[in-house]
Amino acid sequence: MRMEKIATREAYGKALVKLGEKNQDVVVLDADLSKSTKTEEFAKAFPERFINVGIAEQNMMGTAAGLAASGKIPFVSSFAMFATGRAFEQIRNTVAYPELNVKIAASHAGISVGEDGASHQSVEDISIIRSIPNMTVIVPSDAVETEAAVMAAAEIKGPVYIRMGRMAVPTVNGEDYRFQWGKGVVFREGTDVLLVGTGLMVDVCLRAAEGLQQEGISAGVLNIHTIKPIDGETIIRMAKATGAVVTAEEHSIIGGLGSAVAEVLCESYPVPMKRVGINDAFGESGKPMELLSKFGLDPQSVMAAAKDVIRRKKQL
């Protein structure tokens, strides 16, 4: 099923154009990053509905709120760092509190931003945005899922955060893929360990599962694209089937997918668990793939974590 590599931001740019053709109420805001976030595709197709706010993310969120309050469906783009970091309080107070129909589609999340380094590598955004009431949080795993999520986001009322990356990533979902809000996607069932991934780590989990299989370990793989509201039902079902869980995300282990899964399991079905992610650190400059290895976001690290939780399960 794995085909060409496409960055989720590329898929976003194309999806926006489709959406713009379909829905006249869709408007797009960007803060001087349209070439990077790929909103320039929409800007070319619908210049009158593209609003560049300049380098002013706080005003961008507030403007989007006003547009939404007047019936528009604004898609707001910047890098994840600036969208959720610089404009946190604008999102919290002027978008989420009034439950306005603003879609925050942020690119350049995580360390796979690469050479730009720590100042531009958001490893906290899921944590920040997940804590805000009324927010839905989506982290697509590939181009297929990104397009589906973007189209779906326009259909639901209320604020949505979509987290995307800069780097081209393998396509893990088939053409028949159907996006379901808040519903995890089961790639493999397993009996020894469950690997829960999000974003580009879904592909890493799939490769880890293949590696584990060669060693005689049966790993389930679950893609949690909707971090909030989280699909507790599927997580618990698969945790019961395996008795050991590893989460994998290109994000801090504090507050992201790992924390969300831990919250579900601790309250309902505690099993040995390990979070693979950025270990409470800032990123740095480098080639994306080298950084992913350096920070332990590769199949080897997920496999090691899987063996660790299986060992702990056996000690119970």
- Judged by the rule CB under 8 A, the positions of this chain that interact with another protein are 27, 48-49, 51, 53-54, 56, 58-72, 74, 89-90, 93-94, 97-99
- Closest separation in Å from C-beta 96 to another protein: 10
Determine the Cα–Cα distance for residues 59 and 62; give it in Å rounded to an integer: 5
Determine the Cα–Cα distance for residues 202 and 1; give it in Å rounded to an integer: 13
φ and ψ of 183, to 5 deg: -120, 120
Q: Which is nearer to another protein, 70 or 315 (CB)?
A: 70
Q: Which is nearer to another protein, 6 or 56 (CB)?
A: 56
The answer for residues whose C-beta is within 8 angstroms of residue 141's C-beta and 6 or more apart is 169, 172, 173, 185, 197, 198, 199, 200, 202, 203, 223, 225
- Closest separation in Å from C-beta 87 to another protein: 9
Q: Which is nearer to another protein, 128 or 253 (CB)?
A: 128
Q: Quickly tell me which residue has 């589906």 as its tokens.
A: 148
Contact (Cβ atoms closer than 8 angstroms) between residue 109 and residue 77: no
Determine the Cα–Cα distance for residues 183 and 195; give it in Å rounded to an integer: 16
The two most distant CA atoms of the chain are separated, in Å, by: 63
Q: Which is nearer to another protein, 73 or 201 (CB)?
A: 73
- Closest separation in Å from C-beta 84 to another protein: 16
- Closest separation in Å from C-beta 48 to another protein: 7
CB atoms closer than 10 angstroms to residue 189 = 15
- Closest separation in Å from C-beta 98 to another protein: 4
Which two structure tokens, joined as six digits, stand for 82?
Answer: 């600036």
SS3 category, 281: coil
Q: Which is nearer to another protein, 11 or 53 (CB)?
A: 53
Q: Which is nearer to another protein, 94 or 141 (CB)?
A: 94
In a 13 Å sphere around the CA of 163, the CA atoms on its Cβ side amount to: 37
290 an active-site residue?
no
Determine the Cα–Cα distance for residues 29 and 117; give it in Å rounded to an integer: 25
Q: Quickly tell me which residue has 């056996």 as its tokens.
A: 314
Instruction: Considering the candidates 40, 57, 124, 145, report the single residue annotated as catalytic.
Output: 57
- Closest separation in Å from C-beta 86 to another protein: 10
Determine the Cα–Cα distance for residues 130 and 265; give it in Å rounded to an integer: 18
| Residues recognised as catalytic | 57
